[in-house]
Amino acid sequence: MHTVDLSLTKEITKVEGAATLDVKIKKGKVEYCRFGITEYKRFYTQAMRGKPYRGLPALLARICGTCSNAHLLCSIEACEHALGIKPTEQSMIMKHLTMYGLNIRDHALHLYLFSLPDMYGKDSFLSFDENDPEQHQILHDAFDIKAAGNYLSIIIAGRSVHAVNPSIGGFLKVPTDDEVQEAIHKLEHIRPAVLRTVERFENCKFKFDRKTHFMALINNPFSFLDGEIASDLTHERIQEKNFRNHLEHKVISYSQASGYEFKEEPYMVGAMARLNLAKNSLHPKTKASLKSTLEKFPSTNIFHNNLAQAIEILHCLDQSIEYLQNTKFQKEALAQPAKKSGIGIGVVEAPRGTLYHKVEIGEDGLVVKGEIVVPTGQNQINIEQDMARRLEELIPDNPDEETIQLELEKIIRAYDPCMSCASHFLKVKLHGLHLS
């Protein structure tokens, strides 16, 4: 027996965040598998205190550089609930469009830049060959889809990341008629590319099944903003304001992030959870185009999380076109608070899963305290258990270091985690495994 210290500092750049994995293998069995999220404590809940509530959403959007608009809208929702602010119908449509733009762009980023290289045996998306017809199409589909999502985000939210238009009580700016027509054109143009994306991930040969549980904010029609919390562990629906009361906080000594369970069971959040629980509420055009594909859900194959993201891109596209075609955007005054203080909860479905913000606002308009629960924290225990099981499957074949690295990375990437929204780093320690 000997110890192998395996540093993947360079190789693991196709995930977002910082993590450590410490595995001990004894007599061909995984004795423990510890997945720890590092550089995670950034003290945003402390930084919230004493800040004017009007500036809070922009502050909390800085938690993440890619899904910042999800944090922005979740914080806005929490503040609006705390102060009794009721958004207009147009504001809600624009919030939905902001989330659609985010998901189109963010899912495309993960699928093409992080996951697809594995399927083609590439180290990087930049390794695809422009001169090969199939790879040429992949490159252009990736850039076209991402560009359309960016454009939608820009005309609605002001920016594709760290948006400036969404505000507590409404939007500071609305799109022009020309911008709306251009967005419709771009979204209609990429639909064939999105269908090809779905097909690529439907044909993926990767498979890893382990029975687990799922949780998501669900609604009919399908929504990233509205609804109630559902889980396959219960027939009951949980209201957004009660979500945190049902989560069981788990201190993980080797991790900077908290883990969570529901009814004493680990669970998964994210695109696959949303489709497992609410596929029938997708846009009618999406369902018509992907009838046979949707039969794969509910699924426990973690790699179907990639397929679920591709399906969600199509839903976001179809629903965005419908909203844009049927809405005449007019500048509106921001809705005003009905009270000076209160406690508010915001729950949204970020690209990676259910996101929770809580805020308490005092009579002076300053934040008293708050709480944030992010998707990857909720997925942490599940990721750990999946990797332990995958190692158990690999051990009998006496795998080499490269195989172990790749297989663990593939599991991690399938969850599309955002460990700390910071550095890209994974250290793995494998104890007691003879490597060929």
- Residue ranges for the binding site for Ni(2+)? 64, 67, 418
Q: Which residues are annotated as a binding site for Fe cation?
A: 67, 421
The span from the CA of 38 to the CA of 254, in Å, is 9
Burial of 266 (0-12, 13-18, 19+ CB in 10 A): buried
Q: Which residues are annotated as a binding site for Mg(2+)?
A: 372, 424
Whether 33 and 380 have beta carbons less than 8 Å apart is answered as: no
Q: Which residues are annotated as a binding site?
A: 64, 67, 372, 418, 421, 424
Q: Collect all residues with Cβ–Cβ distance below 8 Å to 432 and sequence separation of at least 6.
A: 1, 2, 3, 24, 25, 26, 31
Helix (H, G, I), strand (E, B) or coil at 290: coil
Helix (H) or strand (E) holding 353: strand 353-361
Residue 30 token pair: 């995984």
Cα four-point dihedral sign 113, 115, 116, 120: positive
> How many of the other CB atoms lie within 10 Å of CB of 291?
9
Q: Where do we find the tokens 């469009």?
A: 97
Length of the chain: 436
Q: Nearest Cα to 378, choosing from 257, 212, 237?
A: 257
* β pairing state of 353-361 and 166-167: unpaired
